Structure 1
Amino acid sequence: MRNPLLSLCLLVVFISCKENKDNSTEEREVKKDTLVEKIEVKIPSNGRTDRDLSDIKFVEQEELIPFLKAYGENNPESIVDVETEFGSFRIELFPGPVLHRANFLRLAKLDYFNTTVFHRVDSDFVIQGGNSDRMATHEFRRAVGDYLIPNESTPKYPHDYAMVSAAKYAEQNVSNASSPFEFFVVTKPDGAYHLDGKHTVFGRVIDGMDVVEIIDDLETDDSEWPLKNVGMDMKVIR
């Protein structure tokens, strides 16, 4: 079950709440903030990463944009497979959100996502991944950098069903900048368009939405963390 001490240091990133919920967005945010400290969840059994992180360049906010632009030019791939215990699904990354595509590819190639789980499931709204209570995840975050990605949302990429978008910090984020580490897949059949402009869509699931839907149906606790952790093995294909 979740260690309360680890919970205190867990980077909590929320995405905007579902439209037409019983409570207002503000009320739900307060409710969830209260529940996070009270709900216990299972911690994955593996702890520290065996990977040597010393070769990872630490990126600061001031150098982020030129760094990611250069990385994107040198890494043109756009297809990523996400394997889970329920099967795999394939993500196509859009070229438009240059910084988000480059950042996602970088983390995938570094194997960061392989230390994480789908830690939030809000059925018929989103599944969210890229975080965990594993020490390996937090070691990776400390090695990768301390930055936020500028919002790159565009009307060209709305939050349709199956779209992949970036999570963000809920507080003191008037620019709607993105977390570099967490992403979500829209599972709302008629889209989640109230998120447009607030979050940056940078890809879509082009195959395997049936697997995403299995994860979307998992039982969760009151903080929307699945009762059974669902890890991922992410591979850049081409």
Structure 2
Amino acid sequence: MTLLKTAVRALVLLALLAGCREQSKQNKPESPDPGTVSTDSAARDTTGENPVGTAGQQVADSTDAFELTEENAIDFFFDYQKDLQASRVRLTTDLGSFTIELFDNVPYHKANFIYLTRKKYFDSTMFHRVVKDFIIQGGNADNVKTARKRSDIGRYLLPPDTRKGHRHHRGTVSMPSSEIDNPHMLASPYEFFIVVTDPGSYHLDGEYTPFGRVVEGMDVVDAINQVETDDGDWPMKNIYIRKAEVLD
């Protein structure tokens, strides 16, 4: 079984990275161009903490120390998503609540988002980048608490999965890439962005992984997108995610 999972992990990584290379464009988007998505540059270390989930979903109740790493993340989420029934997450923000429906055919990114939600990672993070009529980007904060939560969960990236037929329509939830040792545009697991452009921002297709869509409360997303920002696209008044919850 271990050999089988290792083989599956290797094949998944090779297939996804190959797909990414085939679709990558000559000119990669770079911040702070307002038509691009900011990379996640938050510093992280590798301190461990108690988990939520097991390789199935029993690690959630375990008291054993557990830390996600580059070496174990794919195997972990492969097991975690097997019996995963939930597909919706509600985010309650300073400006109201909205609900995200996660795509089943992007299993690692879906499992990651639900796992982090159950770990309460997103609670008290912010929408730290807002570009008018383009995106809102969340899952980060310039405070010690958020850095510590990332540190406790672990340091890992997710392979891009851009070939499942999902496009960056209005309301699409997608995952930015990380700039940390990342020649293959691997996805930052801790952040996400939501497209507000009507009908969409299709120049992002093939560069980032759509893994869900807003199905309720798009008016709240639009309200966040209209807040006043500074020259670096950071809201002048912090917009917090007060609570993230999985809707079973």
Larger CA deviation: 65-74 vs 96-105: 65-74
Q: Give the Cα separation in 2 of the matches to 1:201 and 1:26.
A: 18
Matched, 1:55 2:64: no
Give the distance between the partners of 2:234 and 2:75, measured in 1 at CA.
36
Identity of aligned residues (%): 40
The residue that corresponds to 2:195 in the other structure is 186
Select the residue among 222, 227, 234 that pairs with 1:213.
222
What TM-score does the superposition give when structure 2 sets the normalisation length? 0.73
Q: Secondary structure at the match of 2:123?
A: helix
Q: Does 1:88 align with 2:97?
A: yes
| Change beyond 3 A, Cα 1:27–1:230 | closer
Shift of 1:170: 4.3
Match of 2:177 in 1: 168
Which residue does 2:212 correspond to in 1?
203
The residue number in structure 1 matching 2:245 is 235
Matches within 5 A, 1:50-199: 54-56=49-51, 57-170=66-179, 173-199=182-208
1:161 touches 1:191 (CA, 8 Å); kept in 2? Answer: yes
Q: What code does the residue aligned with 1:95 have?
A: D
| Cα RMSD for the two superposed structures | 2.0
The question of whether the paired residues in 1 share the 8 Å contact of 2:104 and 2:110 is answered with yes
Deviations 1:4-42 (A, max 9, x none): xxxxxxxxxxxxxxxxxxxx955846xx9xxxxxxxxxx
Measure how far apart 1:236 and its partner are: 0.4
1:229 partner letter: N
The number of residues matched between the two structures is: 193
Structure 2: gaps (5+ residues): 1-27, 37-47, 52-65
Question: Is the CA contact 1:115–1:134 (under 8 Å) kept in the aligned structure 2?
Answer: no
Q: Distance in 1 between matches of 2:70 and 2:210?
A: 21
What is the TM-score when the length of structure 1 is the normalising length? 0.76
The answer to whether the 8 A contact 1:58-1:143 is kept is yes
Separation in 1, partners of 2:239, 2:166: 28
Deviation at 1:174, TM superposition (A): 3.2
Distance in 1 (alpha carbons) for counterparts of 2:180 and 2:151? 21
**Kept after mapping to 1: 8 A contact 2:49/2:153:** no
CA shift at 1:172, angstroms? 5.4
Give 3-state SS (helix, strand or coil) of 1:141's partner. helix
In structure 2, what is the Cα distance between the partners aligned to 1:147 and 1:171?
10
Change in Cα spacing, 1:27 to 1:167, as seen in structure 2 (3 Å) is closer
How far did residue 207 of structure 1 move? 0.7
Separation of aligned partners in 1, 2:185 and 2:152: 24
CA deviation vs aligned residue, 1:155-194 (integer Å, no higher than 9, x gap): 5111010000001124753322100100000011121111
Displacement after TM superposition at 1:54 (Å): 3.4
